[in-house]
Structure 1
């Protein structure tokens, strides 16, 4: 045994000895409470061990002699050391001769402890400290010497072949664990997720040591290959159990799977591939690609377990087979390729184009909605009958809105309707009594007067808004047909413009126009249906 291990063992024994000394003071021998000994002492081979003994409460008792007796496993008793106060120490012939001594010189009857040097594994057993007393007779205490031997622990897996139906399904040994030459015997347990059973066997070795062997058995499958299994060895010489991890080794034929076919191989498609995946133990030796006809198409390239089709054609419309071999046998898989016609859009270009067009149309729709909302907002702000600020009470416009002779539909009265114009005469009423209503030529330029009588060019928006007449107003102007405009004077209120055809002798139209006019607070009269710009 190595020196380092011996020193550590000696320290361990000293700790045990200290514990035994405390026990000695609190416990007594088997047959007398006055003889105090250590119940158990542990030692390693080649070490020196001390067996302590003391007699307590001597009062009234005469101690005559003390003896140390070794009791073998078969029950035989052998004297190894004797001390008599008158005759001194004596060491009878025994297996311990030359290696046993009292700890003090001369020995003491009150504390006759002994030492055994170069302890052997065969020294293990019971040691009895026995006193001859008067008048009580013999009294004794028993110490058990336990010899320790640190075992050599090891573990290994067993290569097995996964059984088939032909060979039968029987449990086999897949892992072994051994704790050799230990003292006392080791305890072995197994830790694994694999369902199996363990058996253990103990055998005696040299120098009273024990070897323990444990085996783990199960019905192996390919799925068990590489799974974790550990044996755990517990022994008195170890501070903690010794764990030995392993991985199962189950041999099986190749299990093959072909991947890569997406059921979308169309004519003209390029660089598509099939991969032959194989699980096997031992590792595969060969991988072979072929078709049902035996020959591969010219557009196919093979690189070990990968088959690449450079360009899909009609010859690829076949069944591809992959065969994988190892020492135990052959495994294979196959896939049938269905070559399809190329689709109209064989890529994502159509999806991308559709997304772009959709976004563009959405933007157009948003822009159109914004334009409609802005236009409606402007119309609401400006009003449907022009800008009130541009109205001049002194200005009257009676347009030459006439029916169109071409299409037979009314162009809208008031001169600002659809098909009308502002080219008719402009009449300006003067408050002075001398001038009254005067005519101002209109040179085909759309005008309107500001609040102070200034001439302002009419905008396109004003003309557009002025065309929004009520349907009833347009109908009234349509009834005027192609009659000429005329005006008349009336009483005190000043001149008023009337639109009356020349042949209206009975004043029917005049009555209508008179009803159409409305007096204002400043004395002027305006038409309800005329358009003021």
Structure 2
């Protein structure tokens, strides 16, 4: 291993030496570039005075022999413009800057040989080199770029064109006599392309021109378009806002016809609307047939007014609009319809009235039916809980109680100790027979299980009134009676039903009848216990 390392040692030494040499060269170049200090860039406008500074920062171990300022234009040869030697006066060789260039100090020093240029011109723009002659390293230099600025004159205009099918210039923008060249761009919604051109201006300035090209259409007229100029001398971009000016012949339409012009209709009109650039100078109405306008038609500007529609208006109207670019026509055909039915005609009104009355009658009949059904249901409930059969109770009145046959004013009581000797008669409400006495002539009480049973209480005066079996006159008469006399003097329209004793007391019928009868003031005799139905 030791032998192998010894053999590789010379190769490593050579590599290290090469790296040290490269580093030395780079260091010398970097030190040289850093020892001559200049400003990278200087800006100036025409007519001003500019200072170009230069200094040698580290003179240790170096002898400064001479300083030379060299001007190198953008397009041209290098030329010396100022020379400084410690043993001689400053020298200004023949150059475009002769007479306007000088060292800034009256006694210039090789360490700070700065110069100034008065009345700067646009042609003075270029590279300025401050070059030192030194010993033992030779020449060292620093570079400054002088940039001349010229604020351009910016402008933009829209170009009026006629609508067509080929691309044309619709807007133009220009930045003239600027330094450096300006940058232009377009902002618009119109569909087109831009072109850019530069040309030299006065005193080394530049004029930049841009055009916007497109196929012009009527729809593009009035659209916004802007040219934006960017230049180094401007604090912010300058924008020129414009509108496209596209000329086109009139675009015409007629409005106002609703396809409902009927005979007798009044004050209808047609309006001829036209869009054009430039604006139209004439609007004319005429008929397609070439005949004169109907007498009921009035023309004013772009409006055709019909005072009253009749058969003469049944025609085709033509509107003709013209401007400097061309003439356009539009037409509308009017179809006159039959007159509408007079709203005052009694026919429809009568039909409406009849239908209304029929509807009201139908509703009234329905209400009457419902009310009748309701009343019948209520009557059925008052009689026997909703049944069509009604029960009549005889006896149990005050007169009966006087004779010992009743149990008080209430009549028979189910399961009570009172004696109700009045039988119960039941009849059908739907029966047409006027007398219940004939239908129930057996005079037998209702029995359950072989013994008499009372199935309902004696009806009160109010129940009799609600039964709807008395007419109005009888109800009024009944109301006028005293409470004690209502049962004694009650007189109904039906026959008198007399209570008969049971079959096992038939032998006593004579006495029963005699005791039951009572004479009246008018000479008649009536039963005390009979009930009139």
- Residue 100 of structure 1 is matched in structure 2 by 101
Residues 195, 524 of structure 1: alpha-carbon distance in 2 compared, 3 angstrom cutoff: closer
Q: Map of 1:205-224 to 2, 5 A cutoff?
A: 205-224=201-220
Question: Matches of 1:451 and 1:529 in 2, distance apart?
Answer: 8
Q: Residue in 2 aligned with 1:6?
A: none
Which residue does the alignment assign to 1:288?
284
Aligned equivalents of 2:274 and 2:76: distance in 1? 67
- Tell me the residue number matched to 2:440: 500
1:257-299 deviation line (CA, Å, top 9, x unaligned):
1111111111111111111111111110100011123311111
Task: Return the alpha-carbon distance in structure 2 between the equivalents of residues 374 and 477 of structure 1.
Answer: 19
TM-score, length of structure 1 as denominator length: 0.66
- Is 1:485 the equivalent of 2:458? no
Across the aligned residues of Structure 1 and Structure 2, the Cα RMSD in angstroms comes to 4.6
Residue matched to 1:260: 256
Q: How does 1:122-201 map to 2 (within 5 A)?
A: 122-163=123-164, 169-201=165-197
Find the aligned partners of 1:266 and 1:72 in 2 and give their Cα distance. 90
- Structure 2's unaligned 5+ residue stretches are 1-28, 345-350, 412-425, 468-533
1:166 paired residue number: none
The answer to whether the 8 A contact 1:32-1:139 is kept is yes
TM-superposed CA distance for 1:365, in Å, is: 12
**Preserved contact between residue 129 and residue 140 of structure 1 (Cα < 8 Å):** yes
Aligned length: 412
Distance 1:269 1:154 in 2: 60
Does the 8 A contact of 2:46 with 2:121 survive in 1?
yes
Q: What CA distance in whole angstroms lies between the structure 2 residues aligned with 1:323 and 1:154?
A: 41
- Structure 2 residue aligned with 1:344: 341
Determine which of 232, 248, 251 is the counterpart of 1:236: 232
Alpha-carbon offset, residue 113 of structure 1: 1.6
In structure 2, the CA distance between the partners of 1:298 and 1:91, relative to structure 1 (3 Å rule), is same
Q: Secondary structure at the match of 1:485?
A: helix
Displacement of 1:480 after TM fit? 7.8
- Bigger Rg, which one: 2
Q: Describe the superposition over 1:196-241 as per-residue Cα deviations: whole angstroms up to 9, x where unpaired.
A: 1211111111111111111111111111111111112111111222
* Matching residue of 1:446: none
Q: Once the 2 structures are TM-superposed, how far is the Cα of residue 485 of structure 1 from its aligned partner? A: 2.7
> C-alpha displacement at 1:427, in angstroms?
5.3
Task: Describe the SS at the equivalent of 1:143.
Answer: strand
Cα displacement (A) at 1:306: 1.1
1:77 matched to 2:78? The reply is: yes
Structure 2 CA distance for aligned equivalents of residues 107 and 427 of structure 1: 163
Q: If each structure's helix is expressed as a fraction of its own residues, which one has the higher value?
A: 2
SS state at 2:108 partner: coil
Q: Which residue pairs with 1:120 in the alignment?
A: 121
1:333 paired with 2:334, answer no
Structure 1 residues 176, 81: CA separation in 2 closer, same or farther (over 3 Å shift)? Answer: same
Closer, same or farther: CA 413–131 of 1 in aligned 2, 3 Å: closer
Q: TM-score, normalised by structure 2?
A: 0.66
1:514 paired residue number: 446
